[in-house]
Amino acid sequence: MSKEIEDHRNFNQSGNEPFTSIMDKHMSRRGMMRGGLGLAAMSMMGFGAGSALAAPDARTGMRGTGAPGKKPLTLAFESIRGAKLDSVVVPKGYTAQVLIPWGAGLTSDVPEWHDGLEMTPEIQANSIGMHHDGMYHFPLNKGSESKEFLLAINHEYIDQNALWAPKGGPTNARSGKRPADEVRTEINAHGVAVVHVKKQADGRWTHVVDSPYNRRITNASEMEIAGPLAGSDYVKTKFSPDGLLARGTSNNCGNGYTPWGTYLACEENWPGYFVRNTDRQLDDDRLGVSRGRGRYGWETAAGDASEQDDEFARFNTDPVATDASGDYRNEARSYGYQVEVDPYDGSRRAVKRTAMGRFRHEGCWVGKLEPGKPVVFYSGHDARNEYIYKYVSKAAWSPSDANRPGANFDRLAIGAKYLDEGTLYVARFDADGSGEWLPLTPQARTTDGRRLHQALGLAADDQAGIIIHTCDAADLMGATPMDRPEWGAVDPTSGDVYMTLTNNSQRTAEDSAPTFTNGGSSREELGVGYGTAPTNGPNPREGNRAGQVIRWRDGTDVTRLEWDVFVFGAAATDTDNLSGLTELNQFASPDGLWFDDRGNGDGILWIQTDNGYAGVTDYTNDQVLAVVPGALEGGVVTPENQQHLKRFAVGPNGCEVTGIFATPDKTALFINIQHPGNWPAFEDAARETQGSVRPRASTVVIQRQDGGQIAV
């Protein structure tokens, strides 16, 4: 979630022991708070002595994070200094190119961009959307995977001032009715783009205008509902009385991809787009559906003479008819899912995979694949004191289902096989470094001994109801509240999972009592949800401003895990700089994350930031850092191994750096620059803006001037 649209309200009012409290006990148990944090102490935080992860993994022969006897990768660039410029700063010997900025045409009838271009619904529907976020690449042909592919990319939200700059800003942004065409344009600026990109002979990248693969999926696109909620009463609306269709996807932040070649666009801060002022339901309050007026006031355009199929009315979910088939009381319940897109086939609707849970999904990351075993995906709920989830398919993985570039086969049917039937779990982290995945199924036992369906007032077989109330179910099962779980990454060899915990201003001291934001409400009486949370194991710092990256490995028992903290964010001068960061690698608010597998058990973990902590923002803009987990003594970042964590790139003023992957040959690193303040003015992303420009989120391609592999 971008800090630009962060919702500071806390919707989890459960009394569950938060991660910071557990982390505090975990650290105290290991003697870490006694007399400094040297190598010996910090190493104990890794998968070392006292941890179940110290034993060699029977599947890989690995101990901790690196293969024994093998020399790990070395980062071969000099860590760059922080910067506060209207440019992208990269190491010496590297270039940075702007590719597909907001407004770049996917078809030849889109006008050429200029700062005074007035956007219309038609232009925006056929061009790149706003505020690029998660993305991934899908090869077209074998042998050219690193030179030509389909790029699927999320467009998280909008900057109304930039969008409507030629007319001086949006009309009636805060009150009054919004004009229909402004709303349509804003709706079309959201969603997903699929764009054909290729590398030219001179090494520069371009997108292929009028490619038959180019496609926009917006917040108005028709899509299917699949899994437990398909056809259920929970999602029936006037638009889809049978509960099988939905309209649109929005606030797609982090992303995922599947081994069968589809893209996952994850719906995150969608609740604020909807309004409900009467007859509010439990999930409306738990997830934060708006009262009064939606984020952009789209519902106020309802009744316009040009409105078709209630395109604006659907954002007001107040019941007005005798049943759900006559209004949009359930419209918000068609959001909050992982949305699967076949990037190769523009004739297919996107599919909302409801079995994977309904919450504010930051992203979705596939676990280690093993033939004959279930397919696993991990996801975080990006909000203060929310949870980490995993989905385990019922079907076992068959390598015959792997993606075949250029082949014509039904990827969404394969998606249905793995993603429509399985078990959703939520994580509990314990102070001894272990943890448990708690099943979110009707017959699961809650912390007070009831069946989960009984605690939620549902029928004994109502899995659809459990999914609608995923967050309430997680509360009741005793999951561990976390410091805003954002992006994850998986080492495909060891199966280690990394996840960023960005920050949490509502984290209180270990001995403090949780506070309830809806004091005396039925929610508090249920024992679910709270507004502030004491520190715990994985979240050990009260008022956590800088965040951390945690790491875990699942056990052979699908319900067990072992965890630790990989690195703590901090300013170099902070007294709680627990990982010993220096001026050359200090960071705060880790957000984007990607594991760059280099083969043979080696890899680079890339960390991106969305920082609002003055201790670091006074020194540098948001950034990209690289770290080699396999080179770290004890498996975690310590004061003694700082040379393995380096700052690789710094974004322009005002931006968040997000969305990341490298081409298969590792010669090009793709990142996204979201909500820059005054950039880009040139195709050369590293060239500083002179004067002022209309800001445009953009994808940036970073390459070595000599054509070699990135970072090593």
First to last CA, the chain: 30
Residue 424 lies in a domain: yes
Domain that holds residue 631: 3-704
- Cα distance between residue 19 and residue 366, in whole Å: 23
* Stretch 637-654: mean pLDDT: 97
| Tens digit of each residue's pLDDT (9 = 90 or more) over 220-243 | 999 999 999 999 999 999 999 999
Bridging pattern class, strands 191-199 and 205-207: antiparallel
Question: 308 vs 39, which has greater pLDDT?
Answer: 308
Q: What are phi and psi of 602, to 5 degrees?
A: -95, 155
Residue 710 lies in a domain: no
- Cα distance between residue 594 and residue 662, in whole Å: 9
Amino acid at 596: D
For 611, other C-beta atoms within 10 Å of its C-beta total: 27
Residue 503 lies in a domain: yes
| Tens digit of each residue's pLDDT (9 = 90 or more) over 400-450 | 999 998 788 999 999 999 999 999 999 999 999 999 999 999 999 999 999
Provide the pLDDT confidence category of residue 123 given band limits of 50, 70 and 90.
very high
Q: What is the pLDDT of residue 67?
A: 57
Q: What is the pLDDT of residue 447?
A: 95
Residue 96: name the closest of 624, 690, 643 by CA.
624
- Average pLDDT of the chain is 91
Residue 711 lies in a domain: no
| Tens digit of each residue's pLDDT (9 = 90 or more) over 42-87 | 333 344 333 434 333 333 233 355 556 678 899 999 999 999 999 9
Residue 684 lies in a domain: yes
Q: What is the pLDDT of residue 5?
A: 64
Domain count, the chain: 1
Q: Report whether pLDDT(521) > 70.
A: no
Quote the Cα angle for 676-252-192, to 5°.
Answer: 90
Residue 125 lies in a domain: yes
Provide the pLDDT confidence category of residue 34 given band limits of 50, 70 and 90.
very low
- Cα distance between residue 23 and residue 435, in whole Å: 12
pTM: 0.92
Residue 321 lies in a domain: yes
Q: State the DSSP code for 692.
A: -
Q: State the DSSP code for 651.
A: P
Q: State the DSSP code for 104.
A: -
Residue 300 lies in a domain: yes
- Cα distance between residue 19 and residue 483, in whole Å: 8
